Chain A
Amino acid sequence: MTSPSSNSIWLYRYSLLVVFATVLLILAGGLVTSHEAGLAVPDWPLSYGQMMPPMVGNVFWEHGHRMIAGTVGILTLVLTLWVQFGKKCARIKKLAWLAMGAVVLQALLGGLTVILLLPPAVSIFHACLAQTFLCLLVALAFFLSPPFVSAGLAPAAASASNTGTAQRPWLFKFWVLIFAAVYVQLILGAIVRHTSPSHAVVFHVIWAFVVIGLIFLGVRAVLVTLPERQGPARTALTLGLLVIVQFFLGLGAFLYTQVLAHGYAPRTAEIFFASAHHTNGALVLALSLLLTLQVRE
């Protein structure tokens, strides 16, 4: 298996499609929260007792989110089965099952938020699991990617045989730490978003400076130590850019959700900043993971 078969390439491309659909799903979920539409459909799994209710008012956001989620669930099932029937190693197969489990659990949690009338703990868990699921898919896509597959190695073997990080295991460890720090920031952000008034915002803002500092250091380390490797360098630069964008989107979200007066319904600017910050935050987390995996090779 030195050159990836066309089946492998299609499997890899398909996994990217699932990743992309999941980013859209996270955006759709963020829009539900921003429109305060979480309870616009009071029943689950049906919507007003139907498969397809009239998409009026906030039903559009809540039911739309359910439809995209259903699609992602099916896409994930196909991905998992495809991985099982392909000639993949056991760890990749397990990872696929883990992603499948996560998406099922996520759907159940989504249902629970509706039935229990949005208790903050369930909403926060649902928000964090969404991005954890994205991370699982990113890892899966990474292990299915042609450079990785053509190395003909299982994930475990890959790191043992490498030439790069053998001398630089600290870089991998540093990125594991950065990924963990971003994950903590996601949890803090979810707490801010689902509790009010939220004192967690103070910690979220303070931690943002830690995260931004760490990402800058980590990006610089990648560019300095692995300048010959295009993959990590590209990811690092994109991540550096996204985290700057994230900072300003965070400022906007802070201004519109915490400082300025609210109208009878969320304003467009508030929806824009909060949802863009939410989805871009998911991208920051996903790219941190990707870079961690790349420097591990």
Chain B
Amino acid sequence: MKKFMFVLMAGLFVCSQAALAGNVTGSAAFSGTAPAKTEIVMAADPTCASLHTEPVYTEEAVVNSNNTLKNVFVYVKTGLEGKTFPAATTPVSFDQNGCHYMPHVTGVMVGQPLEIINSDSTLHNVHSLAKESKEFNLGMPIKGMKIKKTFEKPEIMVKMKCDVHPWMNAYVGVVSNPFFAVTGEDGSFEIKDLPAGTYTLAAWHETFGEQTAEVTVADGQPATANFSFSG
């Protein structure tokens, strides 16, 4: 009986929380001329070159076919002050694959493990240029090798690079809450279960800078936030 009461209470609590939160969706539009694509020459490491039959391009500005931007990191800039969130325990995957970081832009919570993987049969060094957290530089000489790393402080954005292959770089957004997303092939994003309230959302892009948008989340109502970048 006691146990049942507990489950019921817990269930009610979760429901009330959900009712007081809503999802935010939106997209990152792009106007202007898309920068010319730069093809990467991987000749310096024959293994890297052999892993690709199609040309590979740098990703500092990927404009999708629907005139939106890929790799925009969307996060809550203000509105969550004073609230703390326990670090998620599920690792975020960060793969060195084809001498390329996958994904190019990602996010983790402070304390949440970033699982760095080497899927290539060549060596990489993974070098975090974090300014707020401790910088690190680790050798990953063996295929299949995995290392978990965490960041101590929020930082928009931590640059990651490989010094062996100068074309390899990526960005990790480190935030103190679970409400962040990265735009994909259609330029859209979704932040789930943001507690009801008024926020400033920010959208960061490697080349086109940062945009902000105000959004109000009401109980259980979907909200939208759209960003537009120009090149």
Contact = CB atoms under 8 A, between A and B. Distances in A.
Interface string A229-268: 0000000000000000000000000000000000111100
B7 to A, nearest CB: 50
Nearest to B44: A57
Given A49-B139, A53-B141, A263-B38, A41 B125 contact: yes
Interface string A274-286: 0000000000000
A36 interface: yes
Contacts of A36: 163, 166
Contact of A48 (B44, B46, B123): B123
Nearest to A54: B123
A39 B123 contact: no
A186 interface: no
Given A40-B125, A264-B38, A265-B167, A57 B135 contact: no
Is the interface on chain B under 10, 10 to 19, 20 to 34, or 35 or more residues?
20 to 34
A58 B139 contact: no
A269 to B, nearest CB: 15
B44 A39 contact: no
Contacts of B163: 36-40, 58, 62
B166 A265 contact: yes
B101 to A, nearest CB: 13
B137 interface: yes
A35 interface: yes
A59 B127 contact: no
B125 to A, nearest CB: 5
Contact of B139 (A43, A117, A264): A43
Interface residues of A, number: 24
A38 B164 CA distance: 9
Contacts of A60: 44
A120 interface: no
A43 B164 CA distance: 13
A206 interface: no
B127 A56 contact: no
B153 interface: no
A49 B123 CA distance: 12
Interface of B: 38, 40, 44-48, 58, 60, 122-123, 125, 127, 135, 137-139, 141, 163-167, 169
14 contacts: A35-B166, A36-B163, A36-B166, A37-B163, A37-B164, A39-B125, A40-B125, A40-B164, A41-B139, A48-B123, A53-B123, A54-B122, A56-B46, A58-B164
Given A35-B166, A57-B165, 7 more contacts: A39-B125, A42-B125, A53-B141, A56-B47, A57-B44, A57-B48, A264-B169
